Chains A and B, each alone.
Chain A
């Protein structure tokens, strides 16, 4: 599989290499569906624990729903970060990627997009179901989906840097949460803030533009940091 990336990486242009990376990672993920589903089920289970732990009262649940779903999304993303580079590191294809003539940050972007399609997008698609479980109304659910749609790519992008830094490190899986969760806080605050504002009938466009700004900043900066981290880890 990695051969495809390498040949098209050497012969084709940057876009060809980028697309090959994306297709390759998606194919690999499809072969290991169980891994993908695990983090999705964690998302569902964590959300389902709140009615049991806090209260089954819909009025209580409705108040905490956006926060609960967002926090569960952070945790589910966290669990899937380990996969992003670990296998490539183990079988040596990562080292070959470093040797490609293309900027590593662009290849990283391909991998991050694959990660988001496999573990971020399903969260967005599942969120209406969980929102209804927690008693959210139609419009609020739509808003929740929009915030997740803008926010989960940021989680994948920042997470990639964390995953690259902890590549091959003892206890990397737990460590990555420690590094990345504090950096997720702004996305969490603005994401839940938008939904809360929408529910209480306030203007939420500002929040959405902020989330969009986070996405743009993360798109521009994190691939560089991730590429630097990969070079440090593989060296």
Chain B
């Protein structure tokens, strides 16, 4: 069984075999995303009761917390792929790392944005130098660095390697950054706010938040698979299988037009 598994693993680590597999998986993940989003939104708006302290505005946390969680999770996954790509020279892992970065940056931005719009009605300002918000901002800088480095290098192989190394350096620094920011915040006694509503948080709110998190997760997988397919085509353009795949498609297109 183990041997069979590892053969399948090697098989699909080849971009040529992964490309059609990803194509087949994408609709399923979209389906899951839509179902979970509908359920999650229904729970967040119609089932979860109004919070007695914050009123309705707390409903923002149903997207804020999942976005913040995803932003961190995606960076970790990206760094893991970067390590696999650099250590074992798996091309597909490098491609996955590049495909994850834009979505991670997007969720980081959304976490900051929704945090600001949750903060305004809750504590009266859009921005507070709170430890969480500050760390999230630094995370956004790290994502931007990764994406900029990758797009600045023309040779795709070198770009993949250099940005993978940067992701690894970043992930090693992340705990140091996080703890020093935490420490800086307690020192300056800034407004320490926590978007998660402590122990009293009703089960229904937690359920809604978890479902939204899984929905974002499925969304990430779907969009990343779509993006990695584009990256595979770009980076494998000299191979015969890409040539054949696209050559056939163009023939089909021409026939269709006639």
> A-side interface residues toward B, CB under 8 Å?
161, 165-166, 169-172, 175, 178-179, 181-183, 185-186, 189-190, 193, 196, 214, 221, 225, 228-229, 232-233, 235
Give every chain A residue within 8 A of B145 (Cβ-Cβ).
178-179, 182
CA distance A214 to B175 in the complex (A): 13
What is the size, in residues, of chain B's interface with A at 8 Å between Cβ atoms? Answer: 28
A171 contacts B152, C-beta separation under 8 Å: yes
Known: A165-B149, A171-B152, A193-B184. A182 touches B142 (CB 8 A): yes
* Residue of chain B at shortest CB distance from A190: B180
Cβ B138 vs Cβ A232 within 8 A:
no
The DSSP consensus for interface residues of chain A is helix
Residues B155-183 near A (CB distance < 8 A): 158, 161-162, 165-166, 168-170, 172-173, 176-177, 180-181, 183
Distance, CA A229 to CA B168, complexed state (A): 12
Proximity string of chain B (79-116) to chain A, C-beta cutoff 8 Å, 1 when within and 0 when not: 00000001000000000000000000000000000000
Listed residue (B138, B168, B169, B181) with the most chain A CB atoms within 10 angstroms of its CB: B169
Q: Of A165, A185, A193, A228, which one neighbours B187 at CB under 8 angstroms?
A: A193
Complex: A206 Cα to B162 Cα, angstroms = 35
Chain A residue at smallest Cβ distance from B184: A189
B28 interfacial contact with A, CB 8 Å: no
CB distance from A231 to the nearest CB of B (A): 9
Q: Does B39 contact A (CB under 8 A)?
A: no
Contacting residues, chain B, for A170 (C-beta < 8 A)? 152, 154
**Which of B86, B149, B180 is close to A175, meaning CB atoms less than 8 Å apart?**
B149
Assuming the A-B contacts A182-B138, A193-B187, A221-B172, are A166 and B149 also in contact, with contact meaning beta carbons closer than 8 angstroms in the complex? yes
From 161 to 220 in chain B, residues with beta carbon under 8 angstroms from any chain A beta carbon are 161-162, 165-166, 168-170, 172-173, 176-177, 180-181, 183-184, 187
Q: How far is the CA of A169 from the CA of B149 in the complex (A)?
A: 9
CB < 8 Å neighbour of B176 from A178, A181, A186, A196 = A186
